[in-house]
Chains A and B, each alone.
Chain A
Amino acid sequence: MMKAKIEITLKNGVLDPQGKAIEGALSGLGFQEASNVRQGKVIEFEIDAVDEAAARDRAEEMCRKLLANPVMENYSIAISA
């Protein structure tokens, strides 16, 4: 069994009001050095596949079919043993 970790982020240029709110809160706490805050999500799961390439192919298909919305999101896939 391998582990898959999918990182989903909003595309550049897509407004991220939650990121903006977090940035405001960080600034309020004195972290003015943080800028351009973007919030994304991570989805992890165990995956049964013959090898890493096969696992990656299936995870890619999952992203295309459900996990990410290409209109507003980018994704990256990491497979580990």
Chain B
Amino acid sequence: MKSAVIVFPASNCDRDAAVALRDATGNQPVMAWHGDRDLPDVDLIVLPGGFSYGDYLRSGAMAARSPMMETVADRAAKGVRVIGICNGFQILTERGLLPGALLRNAGLEFVCGPVAMRVEAAAARFAPSLTAGEYVTFPIAHHDGNYTAEKDVLDRLEAEGRVAFRYVANPNGSANDIAGVVNEAGNVLGLMPHPERAISQVLGGVDGRRFFEGLVGAMAAA
């Protein structure tokens, strides 16, 4: 199982993501610079959290147009799994690989801390170690996590079972309490909370480890 983490200017969760992937896959992930185009064949790509380009213009806007994102979009179209975490989720929506957009938090404040979420059908399909209806806790740390989309898009996401995680207590005003969604094919996942920060009891929990291990296990079995 080979994986890659895309590093943008001002990514700050790239090394956390690398540790989570290394632990789950047993292999050190490739760290790929956003300005390059070449990426070795990998099974899983993570767009990490951070504040790429200082969140200038719109969060994730500039990163979404970087050369490496051309490659990521090509790979996603070929079925390679892609996970965008926090700023990575913003980059995926800005790129159009996921529907909707992430606006300024409704309460205007940066929100930070562990949040409980209900696992929805799409997350259970993505990482079968998780069961739809159970609750997991990942940390959040964001200013622009207020997920929004046109009503017909939201209705479609719900009807097609493409919501991955839903907040128990909505921290940012996101539509339908959405914390994460998948694309139509189900191989691209974006979520605001940070599973890579929940991979050890020392860090406050292991739900993120379960997520990565279940995902990698399912991919290895496929």
Contact = CB atoms under 8 A, between A and B. Distances in A.
A67 interface: yes
B93 A71 contact: yes
A18 B101 contact: no
B106 interface: yes
A15 B173 contact: yes
Contacts of B100: 71
Given A66-B57, A71-B93, A71-B149, A18 B108 contact: yes
B58 A17 contact: no
Contact of A65 (B65, B93, B107, B149): B65
Determine chain A's interface SS by DSSP, over half rule. Answer: helix
B12 to A, nearest CB: 23
B148 A17 contact: no
B14 interface: no
A66 B65 contact: yes
Given A15-B146, A15-B148, A69 B94 contact: yes
Nearest to B100: A71
A21 interface: yes
A72 B99 CA distance: 12
Interface string B49-63: 000000001100110
A67 B94 CA distance: 11
B28 interface: no
A75 to B, nearest CB: 12
Interface residues of A, number: 11
B105 interface: yes
Contacts of B103: 14-15, 17, 72
Interface string A42-81: 0000000000000000000000011101011000000000
A9 to B, nearest CB: 13
Interface string A5-37: 000000000110110010000000000000000
B108 A17 contact: yes
B2 interface: no
A66 B29 CA distance: 30
Most buried by B among A14, A71, A72: A71
Nearest to B93: A71
Contact of A17 (B61, B101, B106, B150): B106
A21 B65 CA distance: 31
B104 interface: yes
Nearest to B94: A69
A72 B58 CA distance: 11
B75 to A, nearest CB: 21
17 contacts: A14-B103, A14-B148, A15-B106, A15-B146, A17-B104, A17-B105, A17-B108, A17-B173, A18-B104, A18-B108, A65-B65, A66-B61, A69-B58, A69-B61, A69-B94, A71-B99, A71-B149
